[in-house]
Structure 1
Amino acid sequence: MTDNHVRSAPTMAPAPGTGAPPSVNVFLTLLPLTLSVFIAFFSIGMQMPVLPLHLHETLGMGTLVVGLVVGAQFVAALLSRSWAGNFADMRGPKRAVTAGFLIAAVSGLVYLASLAFVERPETSVWILLVGRVLLALGESLIVTGALGWSVGLVGPLNAGKVMVWIGIAIFGAYALGAPAGVVLNARWGFTGIAAASALVPLLGMAVIAGIRGVAPTAVRKTPFYKILGAVWQPGLGLALSSVGFGLITAFIALLFAARNWGGASFAFTAFGAAFIAARMVFGHLPDRIGGAKVAVASVAVEALGQLLIWGADASPIAYLGAALTGFGYSLAFPGFGVEAVRRAPPQTRSLAMGAYVAFLDIALAVTGPLAGALAGAWGIGSIYLAGAAAAGLSMIVALKLLVGAPPKGGRHV
């Protein structure tokens, strides 16, 4: 299929080969790409419970610096979405994903380099920042490319299923990667985390080597602001719903440490397990009944989870709160995502996915430093009350999408 054929695919009826194959075919087609995304985010998940503690306990940094370093990845990912999306649309998503794995592996080597400067904590932190930026560039290429690649393989009518399975890979990797990171850190320290971060992405490259690529869908760059204008409403809903996820990834380990609870890594596991369970049981709903309806219910559950963490006086309550946050957030991404896909031009498939995910980056980039400042002023628990408020605002956006008229020429996928 030529680029022109791809670009001329009609909006209301998919081009040949982009229709809606049976679910089992969709699953089998997506399986290798899903596995590669799992591998990429397993590497990231290993870092989640360890990096904040390394910054705080080994390097002696405060909560604001922890938030800034953790959030730096999301700032860099946000700034790279346009580049990554256009790269995938113009050069092909397989090339984008391959480049992403290479860059992610280099970020692990930079982490290793930072350990040579532990006696000079400020220098070590700056080197870690470089590693976080490189990790963000790799992650941006992997996610943007994998989403566009997947939709290209199974068709736009299965966009919801693509987001469901890619999301399962991401958060399943978080759920398993976090305790694996704790084990690595306990035995080999942050050196083990850094070395694994350099090696694990190479496995992802091996997985995608044999997957059929899809043709580029564009011959010139599309201005990012045009795509942002098409997807900003569902993107805003995603951003607000992502605050709770950002608070768990950046600060749940510090909350457990402040309250002298053990087993912080199991909060990540509870989040990830509930996230996967929701997608396995209800993942078909965004495509079937509409994304906005699913998003309304999802963010309500997430708000309840954040309130439980805020009020927890024992670790089991915090685990339950993390699980409810994961369960609710699970379907917010495909729920708002289905609304975003039907608003975007079909020839900008990867760029549209990048623009949508950019709202997640915005949320996580802002959440880290703001929550760090809030924790310093009002205590670590207060940030989860703020997370519940953000989920409530996300529900308002979902309700607006639900009652609003579809965009002119828009379509449900």
Structure 2
Amino acid sequence: MTTHADDLAQRIGAPVELAGVAVRRPSKVREGIDPALVTTDATALVKRGDIDVVVEVIGGIEPARSLITTAFEHGASVVSANKALLAQDGAALHAAAEEHGRDLYYEAAVAGAIPLIRPLRESLAGDKVNRVLGIVNGTTNFILDKMDSTGAGYQEALDEATALGYAEADPTADVEGFDAAAKAAILAGIAFHTRVRLDDVHREGMTEVTAADFRSAKEMGCTIKLLAICERAADGASVTARVHPAMIPLSHPLASVRGAYNAVFVESDAAGQLMFYGPGAGGSPTASAVLGDLVAVCRNKLNGTTGPGESAYAALPVSPMGDVVTRYHISLDVADKPGVLAQVATVFAEHGVSIDTVRQSGKDGEASLVVVTHRAFDAALTGTVEALRKLDTVRGVASIMRVEGE
């Protein structure tokens, strides 16, 4: 903000002055920041009353939630990058902002520098969004891309991501899908004008994805990505939000997203198919999104207005994962003897899951059976897998992978 102060002043219509910086470690050298502005008392800073905009990049639930609501109460608008807080308490924060006539902007909370929040809630405000499908975590995409391109196992790819700084020392939030699930909740809420909380999002991590899964995907002309998928039901009466690994065809635009990049595919009635692509994490991309929101909020302040708040008028129910309909790739370890395929096929039929293709290979009494289904309810597939595990001839369910993007 200090580096581009003159440009920001021209774009906003007034100069922007840095009033204070709340930090945990005041002794750390911060180039370009007057040490007199640095404080450890964040509460006192947001209570000052002469602050127009508070930028919150703390992360987590508390003290971020209290600081944001306190900022609203004392006359400041807020720019946040806090996906976890927005996914959990977005409705309450929007209500507080509206009560006090302030802005709450959070472009940086999802997909870093990629303009996504504003297009969804402003540019597509006159359209009907039916689906949002995307790669919204750079760490997981780097790991899966490395597994795909080199044949590496999960742990090997994770180690490289950690060494390069893409993965945290504790990568749980990324690889178990918590980060992507928070972003999915935010995207679904905006896209479908419905309150969607983090607890509404079905979440599966990617730690069980193997090199064998990638070999199977390649045989189908697919690759594997950790996807955030938000969908409106065919009848328009409900929505779903989920995060899990999935096979997608190599012909799909998301299949070519490499490294730590993010991309989100949006499908709507009038605009059709749109794709937003770019760096999804890191200091500079996040700063770009934060400054973009800062400019918008400052312009609103000068004009005596506020930007769009929460739009949850549709109030659609969020359906459980069992209501999702998609295709599946199931790999089974079975006994290599006559009749096994017939038994397996019978179980699928009994649960109303139609088989598309079957591949079988075996040696020395052991066999692998790969079944790809037609579209079916997730609940039906779950019942099928439970029944398969009870067969004496099925020695294990090696993997279950959904097939998306077709």
TM-score past 0.5 threshold: no
Which structure is larger by alpha-carbon Rg, 1 or 2? Answer: 2
TM-score, normalised with respect to structure 1: 0.28
Structure with more relative contact order (C-alpha pairs < 8 Å, separation 6 or more): 1
The structure carrying a bigger strand percent of its residues is 2
The structure carrying a bigger helix percent of its residues is 1
